[in-house]
Structure 1
Amino acid sequence: MPSILKDLWNRFAGGGGASGREEPAAEPVEYKGFRIRPAPYSAKGGYQTAGIIEKDSGTGTKEHRFVRAETHPSKDDATAFAIVKGKQIIDEQGDRIFG
């Protein structure tokens, strides 16, 4: 598996970044019954847009992870953009993101 894909998989599988350090998670944002958890990570001299959309259901918590191509100069910028993208995904797809 190419190194970039392996690093990405490890981040989402709970293995931390390439350095093995886990960065503190941003606070979740509630939106239309969903939770958006920004999860930007260090990449290419900046921070990659990434996050998790969650929703509680009768069978447990449903989860959808997303990564976008955009990078940002600061973690705060990437966090803010991940929230915007999460809201856009929810607005466009709603519960279908879990299917």
Structure 2
Amino acid sequence: MGLFSWLFGNKTTTETVTIEPVDYNGYLIYPEPQKEGEQFRIAGRICKEIDGTIQTHHFIRSDILPSQADAETFMLKKAQMFIDQTGERMFK
């Protein structure tokens, strides 16, 4: 099958999804739930510009929820709590 895909072109397409960040106290939170079977793992990024450089902290939880919307909402709440507790120390 690999030879035929190479000869005739692999017609798979990738879908680009644009995620709108949520601004919270100067931090940008990007909810990016990870699909696992029929459920979604809570994940995302927290970013902040410090001294002219964008710092990023990847945020992955063990929690799995049944819908993508629930995972995004829960991630925002967890990220806000994490920001309140650690601040810029998360980037060190």
Shared fold (TM-score greater than 0.5)? Answer: yes
Q: CA RMSD in A?
A: 1.8
Q: Give the paired residue count.
A: 80
Distance in 1 between the 2:16 and 2:63 partners?
19
**Residues 87 and 48 (structure 1 numbering): CA distance in 2 closer, same or farther, change over 3 Å?**
same
Deviation per CA, 1:44-96, whole angstroms, max 9, x where unpaired?
Answer: 42000001000012231000001001111111110111101110110110000
Partner SS for 1:70: strand
* Alignment gaps of 5+ in structure 2: 1-12
Instruction: Calculate the TM-score normalised by the size of structure 2.
Output: 0.78
Determine whether 1:56 maps to 2:49. yes
* Alignment gaps of 5+ in structure 1: 1-19
The percent identity for this pair of structures is 34
Determine whether 1:91 maps to 2:84. yes
Instruction: Calculate the TM-score normalised by the size of structure 1.
Output: 0.73
Larger Rg: 2
After the TM superposition, which parts of structure 1 deviate over 4 Å for at least 4 consecutive aligned residues? 20-23
